[in-house]
Amino acid sequence: MDSPWVLRGSWVVLLLLFSCVPLEGHPQTFEEPYVPFPPARPSMVNLDNICVNEPHRPLYPLDSLPRTGYSYLRRQGDAINGMESAYQECCKLYGYQWLVLTLSCVQKAWKGGLSKYCVDEFSVKTKPHPCCMVEEDMHNCFATKAPNKSYTPTPTKK
């Protein structure tokens, strides 16, 4: 004889259906967060935007990205945060009096940030970013994939 607690047929379907319905006031979202990665290669063309628009570009604190299932976005966010912090220091240190030194500083920060990102990518057991696999031309690969080459401020997509 079956136990009275055994669910069969249509009851199982109904339970599954109701478990997928969001509670009122708690909408479910399955949209992946947007992280504009990789940052563009710094150049004289975008240097002004790098230094002037820095407060208007998003950063990615730990609580801004999902805790599970999106570790690659956390690594990308960490890389952007590190580069943005270094850019800010470069712009403060050299300013507009020494544009060549400012550019050199932010380019070094960009290359270093992406190199560290690739080290972090290889330290986990997931498939690394494709540009990290291109050893001899890694930075050029990242430069071609940058979604915001001019560093203009963009609203954070949620």
What's the pLDDT at 59?
Answer: 79
Does residue 139 sit within a domain?
A: yes
Does residue 37 sit within a domain?
A: no
Q: Coil, strand, or helix at residue 33? A: coil
* Measured torsion, CA atoms of residues 31, 32, 35, 38, in degrees rounded to the nearest 10: -130
Does residue 26 sit within a domain?
A: no
Which structural domain range is residue 132 located in?
42-145
The number of folded domains in the chain is 1
Does residue 113 sit within a domain?
A: yes
What's the pLDDT at 138?
Answer: 96
User: How far apart are the two ends of the chain, measured CA to CA in Å?
Assistant: 52
Does residue 114 sit within a domain?
A: yes
- Report the C-alpha gap between 133 and 116 in whole angstroms: 14
Does residue 151 sit within a domain?
A: no
What's the pLDDT at 25?
Answer: 46
Cβ 26 vs Cβ 59: under 8 Å: no
pLDDT 10s digit of each residue in the chain, 158 long? 555 555 455 544 444 444 444 444 444 454 677 889 999 999 999 999 999 987 778 778 777 777 767 888 999 999 999 999 999 999 999 988 899 999 999 999 999 999 999 999 999 988 999 999 998 899 999 999 999 999 988 665 44
Does residue 154 sit within a domain?
A: no
What's the pLDDT at 57?
Answer: 82
Does residue 10 sit within a domain?
A: no
Enter the pTM of the model: 0.75
